[in-house]
Amino acid sequence: MALVVQKYGGSSLENAERIKRVAERIVETRKAGNDVVVAVSAMGDTTDDLLDLASQVSPVPPDRELDMLLTSGERISMSLLAMAIHSLGAEARSYTGSQAGVITTSVHGKARIIDVTPSRIQESLDAGAITIVAGFQGVSQDTKDITTLGRGGTDTTAVALAAALGADVCEIYTDVDGVYSADPRIVPNAKKLDNITYEEMLEMAACGAKVLMLRCVEYGRRNNVAIHVRSSFNNKPGTIVSGSMEDLPVEQAMITGVAHDRSEAKITVTGVPDHPGVAARIFRVIAEAELNIDMVVQNISQVATGRTDLTFTLPKTDAATAVAALERVREEIGFEQVLFDEHVGKVSLIGAGMRSHPGVTAVFCEALAEAGVNIEIISTSEIRISVVCRDTQLDDAVRALHEAFDLGSSEEAVVYAGTGR
């Protein structure tokens, strides 16, 4: 008998009909001889509706109470799901994050899981019950207050439960069939990947692939939990995230996929005095505003003026704060101006194989050049190349790279033959 952890998101649980369909799938898994633990998100628009209520009573709701409010969403979906399972003749019990032993830090709204002590979940499984757990939530180790994990929290709950219970697999049910070599809305012949390593998936997620959140993949890698990303609308196998690229066979595919991201903006600080420590002061200002930056590039200093330009990207939602923070220190630091540009896109090529294959960067740049895409910033890691370009050219860039690296048509491009992960 295997232990399977499944995760269903808000769209899979949008209404009573969908909840019943999910219940059927869970009961099938149980009838196939598995122990089943299920982590759920709130139904469809529940979280937005609750946030709307909060805004009606308070302009800036306190974090503690916002977490208390939002966690009622999973309480509703989990108990309804347990009822739906029960009406199919199977035993089901639902547990809040706190009851399930999901212990977190006390940072409301974006708590991190410290530990999972699943004794009640284990008891429920031992009693033969399908066990439903509220995703996205936990209880603070220090204050015993209810916390939420922030975006993608239910994926993380599922992986954390799988790790704590020693589950055989953690199935993340979503509205797509798995992880693709590119967004199928942009690249019609994008290929579903059967397998992907944690490292590659981390790069994909960090570069804009929305199917799994970064922290969930990190948790899976740290605890070696096999994550199966699949559709809640069909029974096709999806994508299995597992294994390290260290273990990949040499003859594996070079490139995994193309990710893109429209959520970033570009800020350029011009006429920066080119002395040691000036760039550091600029980034200190950004850090003190609690903003995270992504890519950074510094132009070659102009000898005549002794000044340079500093460009970086960060989430569009943080850009206004960053610009304001920089303007406040313009005179003190002595730079010329802050330019803000939100019409940028980022495209990234990811593949563990590129480590051992020279020439990937050349093919990458040639493909973009042929598509008429101008590279504004470029940044690389061992298994990734990312560039920033005009947002109007982003789709062209994604298609050009997908084509250049033959990701759609070639089976070898995406399957790690024989690894069996």
Query: Which residues here bind its own copies, judged by CB under 8 A?
Result: 16, 19-20, 23, 50, 53-54, 56-62, 64-66, 68-69, 71-73, 75-76, 78-84, 86-87, 92-94, 99, 120, 144
Residue 57 CB, nearest distance to its own copies (Å)? Answer: 4
- 11 is written with which tokens? 């769209």
Beta-bridge partners for 297: 311
Q: Name the residue among 196, 198, 244 with its Cα closest to residue 415.
A: 196
Phi and psi based region of residue 359 (left: phi greater than 0; alpha: psi -120 to 50; beta: remaining): left
Q: Which is nearer to its own copies, 76 or 329 (CB)?
A: 76
Across the beta sheet with 377-381, the strand order is 257-261, 344-350, 384-390, 377-381
Nearest distance from C-beta of residue 5 to its own copies, angstroms: 20
CB of 29 to its own copies, least distance (A): 18
Q: With the C-alpha atoms ordered 165, 169, 173, 176, is the resulting torsion angle positive or negative?
A: positive
Structure tokens at 23: 């219940």
Residue closer to its own copies by CB (options 11, 223) is 11
Q: Minimal distance in Å, beta carbon 67 to its own copies?
A: 8
CB of 35 to its own copies, least distance (A): 19
Q: Find the DSSP H helices in 132-260.
A: 153-165, 198-206, 214-223
* 28 vs 370 by CB, closer to its own copies: 28
CB of residue 48 vs its own copies: minimum separation in angstroms? 14
Tell me the backbone φ, ψ of residue 133, rounded to 5 degrees: -125, 135
Structure tokens at 417: 């033959």
Choose between 80 and 388: whose C-beta lies nearer to its own copies: 80
**Which residue is associated with the tokens 């040691």?**
276
Please report, for residues 52, 53, 55, 89, 195, the alpha-carbon distance to residue 58 in angstroms, rounded to integers and kept in the order given. 10, 9, 5, 44, 46
77 versus 181: smaller Cβ distance to its own copies:
77
Specify whether the CB–CB gap between 263 and 151 falls below 8 A: no
Q: What are the binding residues for ATP?
A: 7-10, 174-175, 180, 185, 210-211
Distance CA 117, CA 188 (A): 44
Our CB check for its own copies shows the closer of 50 and 329 to be 50
| Among 50, 54, 74, 46, residue whose Cα is nearest residue 147 | 74
Closer residue to its own copies in complex, CB, 99/321: 99
DSSP letters, 63-130, are HHHHHHHHTHHHHHHHHHHHHHHHTTT--EEEE-TTTTTEEE-S-TTS--EEEE--HHHHHHHHTT-E
Q: Measured from the CB of residue 162, what is the shortest distance to its own copies in angstroms?
A: 23
| Smallest separation (angstroms) from its own copies to the CB of 22 | 10
Of 83 and 371, which has the nearer Cβ to its own copies? 83
Closest CB 15 distance from its own copies, rounded Å:
8
User: Helix/strand/coil (H, E, C) string of 24-79?
Assistant: HHHHHHHHCCCEEEEEECCCCCHHHHHHHHHHHHCCCCCHHHHHHHHCHHHHHHHH
Dihedral of alpha carbons 150, 151, 157, 160, sign: negative
Q: Which residues are annotated as a binding site for substrate?
A: 47, 74
10 vs 351 by CB, closer to its own copies? 10
Element (H, E) at 270: strand 264-273
Q: Can you tell me the distance from the alpha carbon of 212 to that of 218, in angstroms, rounded to the nearest whole number?
A: 10
The annotation places the binding site at 7-10, 47, 74, 174-175, 180, 185, 210-211
Least distance CB 62 / its own copies (angstroms): 5
Q: How far apart are CA 91 and CA 50, in angstroms?
A: 30
Nearer Cβ to its own copies (19/397): 19
